């Protein structure tokens, strides 16, 4: 067991109390994290404010070079952090697990380093010159979830520092250790105070709440559930913070009658079960046309039954356990309820500890909780439809609006249907594929603002227009 402090002003800071982080595959203790008090948060914000004085005055080239140095550090320490991530989160080292997450983190960091927001000349004529500048905001508060903790930390930290801001990050209490280690290695490449991390069990003190209302923080970037996102928004109102909120989803996939079921089974499976379904933009409801319904169900079962589930630290595992008890209980409740209404095609019963096999339940309808709620786990409800207008209406009948997909041999028709889905990202014949040059965000209650690309970078700045 190892102990992890916090990192404030470039120095390790221990708290009077700690909390334990366990491996969901075995229950073994992975390490003890520092349990921050509000005064630790104040110290981190003060350090970030001091660092902002010089960091915000760096030239664009200096900021770019510093971000490139961060990329090199992530690459250098990727395997070490992947091992720690698997130990605390449960996802496998291989497949779309920890090594994949670390290589994604490095790729996103690299792309973000390469972006810039140059001065825009809006007008330059006899009547005058009008220039649009992008200015850093100050201290950015980042709060991250437990599903892709390292990747999401990079999504928050890199655009913030690339645009001259400084950061205080608070990871989820379920997965704080890989973020602490990430911030330690990032600090090897940056001046003290530019990136700080505080950790909290969320019980002793509500550090996330304190961040959202902290007068020294100018922007919150939050990734997590809709319910907590609303609290962040409310707490941020008094100090008029800028907000980027990446929240939950209940993405629908719509399968049209012209598909080849066997050809799409693998894509459908990983669309729903990436990271054991614990992914914001995973496919969480599958609507299949009656003409191909039985064939699609059978092809999915054929593919899913061969996916190796096991302790993520074993090289052969491709899916691990559910990441924590709270999430396991939620998935079990939803699957138990769905099992009484629908037809369990595969799985349905928990395994040992926090393991839950890939579960496919057919013949469900809109009011079943596994369809209506975000399950965020390895259980996919399948719903039969006969009229595509009805499938579209059901897909849209939710407060969520993160992603959606349409599956068909006719890409043009699929794109037309996809454009009618009320969500921030639409995929054709795939689901959940995101990339660092394409803005990503939710509509309706799934969020506010976007991440990635120049549009995402701009959210870490205020506009100043100079008229001369």
Closer residue to ligand NAD in complex, CB, 138/439: 439
- Please report, as residue ranges, which positions from 177 to 236 form the binding site for ligand NAD (by CB under 6 A): 202, 206, 208-209, 212, 223-225, 228, 231-232
Residue number, 155 or 385, with CB nearest to ligand NAD: 155
End-to-end Cα separation, the chain, in angstroms:
62
Task: Determine if 173 is a binding residue for ligand NAD (CB under 6 A).
Answer: yes
Question: What would the x/- binding string for ligand NAD be over residues 364 to 393, using CB under 6 A?
Answer: ----------x-x-----------------
Could you tell me which of 280, 233, 204 has the C-alpha nearest to residue 33? Answer: 204
Instruction: Give least dist CB 15 to ligand NAD, A.
Output: 16
Interface of this chain with ligand NAD, residues 242 to 261, rule: CB under 6 A: 246-249
Give the contact letters, 321-360, x = binds to ligand NAD (CB under 6 A), - = no: ----------------------------------------
Sign for the pseudo-dihedral over CA of 435, 100, 432, 219: negative
Element (H, E) at 249: none
Cα angle at 404 between 370 and 399, to 5 degrees?
Answer: 60
Binding of residue 432 to ligand NAD (CB under 6 A): no
Does residue number 410 form part of the binding site for ligand NAD (CB under 6 A)? no
Question: How far is the C-alpha of 348 from the C-alpha of 413, rounded, in Å?
Answer: 35
Mind telling me the catalytic residues? 246, 280
Say how far apart CA 318 and CA 104 lie, in whole Å: 17
- Which CA distances in Å does 106 have to 62, 97, 452? 19, 14, 14
- Cβ 158 to ligand NAD shortest distance, Å: 15
Positions 268 through 287 that interact with ligand NAD (CB under 6 A):
280
CA distances from 386 to 292, 293, 299, 304, 407 (A): 10, 10, 20, 25, 15
Closest CB to ligand NAD among 237 and 466? 237
Pairwise CA distance, residues 226 & 147, whole Å = 15
Q: How far is the CB of 385 from ligand NAD (least distance, A)?
A: 25
DSSP 8-state secondary structure symbol assigned to residue 313: T
Site residue total, ligand NAD (CB under 6 A)? 29
Our CA angle for 105, 111, 114, nearest 5°, is 140
Residues near ligand NAD (CB under 6 A) are: 143-147, 170, 172-173, 202, 206, 208-209, 212, 223-225, 228, 231-232, 246-249, 280, 374, 376, 402, 442, 447
């Amino acid at each position: 067991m190892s102990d992890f402090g916090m990192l404030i002003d470039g120095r390790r800071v221990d708290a009077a109390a700690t909390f334990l982080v366990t491996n969901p595959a075995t229950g073994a203790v992975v390490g003890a994290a520092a349990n921050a008090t509000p005064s630790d948060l104040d110290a981190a914000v003060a350090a970030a404010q001091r660092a902002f004085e010089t960091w915000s005055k760096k030239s664009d080239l200096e900021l770019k070079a510093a971000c490139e140095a961060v990329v090199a550090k992530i690459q250098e320490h990727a395997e070490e952090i992947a091992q720690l991530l698997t130990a605390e989160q449960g996802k496998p080292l291989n497949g779309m697990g920890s090594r994949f997450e670390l290589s994604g983190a490095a790729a996103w960091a690299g792309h973000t380093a390469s972006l810039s927001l140059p001065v825009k000349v809006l007008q330059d004529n006899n009547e005058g010159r009008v220039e649009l500048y992008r200015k850093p905001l100050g201290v950015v508060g980042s709060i991250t979830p437990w599903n892709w903790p390292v990747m999401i930390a990079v999504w928050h930290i890199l655009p913030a520092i690339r645009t001259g801001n400084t950061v205080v990050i608070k990871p989820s209490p379920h997965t704080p250790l890989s973020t602490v280690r990430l911030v330690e290695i990032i600090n090897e490449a940056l001046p003290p105070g530019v990136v700080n991390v505080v950790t909290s069990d969320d019980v002793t003190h509500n550090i996330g709440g304190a961040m959202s209302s902290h007068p020294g923080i100018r922007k919150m970037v939050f990734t997590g559930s809709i319910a907590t996102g609303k609290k962040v928004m409310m707490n941020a109102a008094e100090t008029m913070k800028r907000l980027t909120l990446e929240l939950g989803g209940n993405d629908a996939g719509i399968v049209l009658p012209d598909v080849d079921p066997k050809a799409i089974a693998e894509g459908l499976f990983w669309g729903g079960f990436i990271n054991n379904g614990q992914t914001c933009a995973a496919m969480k409801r599958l609507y299949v046309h009656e003409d191909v319904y039985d064939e699609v169900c059978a092809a999915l079962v054929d593919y899913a039954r061969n996916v190796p589930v096991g302790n993520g630290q074993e090289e052969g595992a491709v899916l691990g356990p559910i990441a924590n008890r709270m999430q396991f209980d939620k998935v079990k409740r939803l699957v138990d309820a769905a099992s009484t209404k629908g037809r369990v095609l595969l799985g349905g019963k928990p395994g040992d500890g926090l393991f839950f096999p890939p579960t496919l339940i057919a013949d469900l309808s809109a009011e079943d909780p596994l369809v209506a709620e975000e399950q965020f786990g390895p259980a996919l409800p399948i719903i039969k439809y006969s009229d595509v207008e009805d499938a579209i209406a059901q897909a849209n009948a939710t407060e969520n609006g993160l992603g959606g997909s349409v599956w068909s041999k006719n890409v043009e028709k699929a794109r037309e249907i996809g454009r009618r889905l009320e969500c921030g990202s639409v995929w054709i014949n795939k689901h959940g594929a995101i990339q660092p040059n394409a803005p990503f965000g939710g509509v309706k209650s799934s969020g506010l603002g976007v991440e990635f690309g120049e549009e995402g970078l701009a959210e870490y700045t205020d506009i100043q227009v100079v008229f001369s």
